[in-house]
Chain A
Amino acid sequence: MSVSTGVVGAADVLGRVAAAVQGSGGTVVTVSHGIEEPVAGPGRAVGHAHARPVARPSRLPVVGSAEWQPDLGFLAGPIVRVGAIGLAGTYGSLLEHHLRAAGIDRVVLGGFASELTVDTTVRALNDQGFECLTLVDGCAPIDPATGEHALSSVTMSGGIFGAIGSSADLLAALAADDGGHDQPGPRAPAFQETS
């Protein structure tokens, strides 16, 4: 599978996938850089006990504040919005909490950038036991070559970080769903982007 759609193309794909997931009773989650609460701390660029030290200082917007990443225009309907302080969407974030609380064990991921934040989040969720599908055409890489290898790594050893697939196959599977939702909220595409 070799599709590099760029950020605009990936966003378009994710918008359609998110609508279909919502229509089939699934959950849509977005993750962007952000910090849950401001805690002043001496000598730190970011006032948080687990924030990275001064090596690569960054200012993270507070989740829910005006500075935080605004709503993504291509997504509609109910969205669970999560802020993460790490490149992993699971680090310094409530992502795992939201997924566990909703009884979600399968996660479809896309976003920007494929080989950095998306890949890092997939690795973390996979170790935590979530069954992950990375959407090839729902991801945009910074560099097409490293983006390809990030997808390749997922598939090593029979799917070491889960599987990769296309939005067309996912949408077809959702359309074929008989609508029986005895176990609500089985799917949660998480759109992730860097800021």
Chain B
Amino acid sequence: MINATIDAEPYPWPYDGVIDPARTAIINIDWQTDFCGPGGYVDAMGYDLNLTRAGLEPTTKVLAAVRSAGWTVIHTREGHRPDLVDCPPNKLWRSKRIGAGIGDAGPCGRILVRGEPGWDIVPEVAPIEGEIVIDKPGKGSFYATDLDLILRTRGITHLVFTGITTDVCVHTTMRDANDRGYECLLLTDCTGATDYGNYEAALKMVTMQGGVFGAIAPSAALLSALGA
């Protein structure tokens, strides 16, 4: 247990001034080839991969530090069953309309389908033995998953987020977590979006109203608090 806070905005995180490895988890959102690798879903839609890959290097450093500190480490993956029975028809329709149909064949296998190469987490931040992986069909990591059950069962109360994309899956998950009472921190350099303006706005939204969804901080502030 560390009686310390992280230099964060809009308040020193966490609110209770204690970073307890037994109650703290890092959640790494959707670091999958489909979202940050060549030939994946985001690449197929024509977005700049540098924006979603920017957070990889700082995230590797953070992962090393929190693994060493004994935090719970969780990874999420967005993807659907091979028969797409868990893919809402409107989501499928929209993806086909933009030319990157879920389930269609691409350079990294079938897009956003579980078990395909594009669905794998990229090697830089891949899970290691014993870490928890959550498979989710939506943008949020709580809906239709066992994430909340796992966090409650382990007694986790504090969450630190990395991952992509900031304004979509990361924000949706953080908003959900905040509503559920978890104390949340988003690491600003460990996340990215397909649109830089939306990335910046997503960070700002967290800090509105005194921290309406929690707080934000650069990874250096976390590493400093951990003495890493």
Chain A interface (Cβ within 8 Å of chain B)? Answer: 50-53, 55-56, 85-88, 91-92, 115-116, 120, 123-124, 126-129, 131, 142-143, 145-146, 148-150, 152-153, 156-162
Contact = CB atoms under 8 A, between A and B. Distances in A.
B195 A131 contact: no
Contact of A156 (B15, B175, B194, B204): B194
Interface centre among A56, A142, A143, A150 (most CB of B within 10 A): A56
Nearest to B210: A56
Contacts of B211: 56
Contacts, number: 124
Given A87-B212, A156-B195, A116 B45 contact: no
B186 to A, nearest CB: 15
Contacts of B194: 156-157
A60 to B, nearest CB: 12
12 contacts: A52-B178, A116-B209, A126-B138, A127-B172, A128-B138, A143-B204, A146-B201, A150-B205, A156-B167, A157-B45, A158-B45, A160-B168
Contact of B212 (A116, A124, A153, A159): A116
Contacts of A115: 201, 205, 208
B36 to A, nearest CB: 14
Contacts of A116: 205, 208-209, 212
| Interface size bracket, B side | 35 or more
A91 B95 CA distance: 27
A139 to B, nearest CB: 14
A86 B95 CA distance: 30
Interface string B167-198: 11001100110111101000000000011011
B140 A123 contact: yes
B139 A160 contact: yes
Interface centre among B171, B180, B181 (most CB of A within 10 A): B181
A124 B197 contact: no
Given A143-B208, A159-B94, A52 B179 contact: yes
Contact of A123 (B165, B172, B209): B172
Contacts of A88: 175-176, 179
Given A56-B211, A127-B138, A158-B45, A150 B175 contact: no
B202 A153 contact: yes
A50 B181 contact: yes
A144 B217 CA distance: 24
B98 interface: yes
A128 B45 CA distance: 24
A62 B168 CA distance: 32
Lowest 4 CB-CB distances: which A-B pairs, in order?
A149-B201, A158-B98, A86-B179, A127-B138
B168 A156 contact: yes
Nearest to B90: A131
A91 to B, nearest CB: 4
A158 B195 contact: no
A47 B90 CA distance: 38
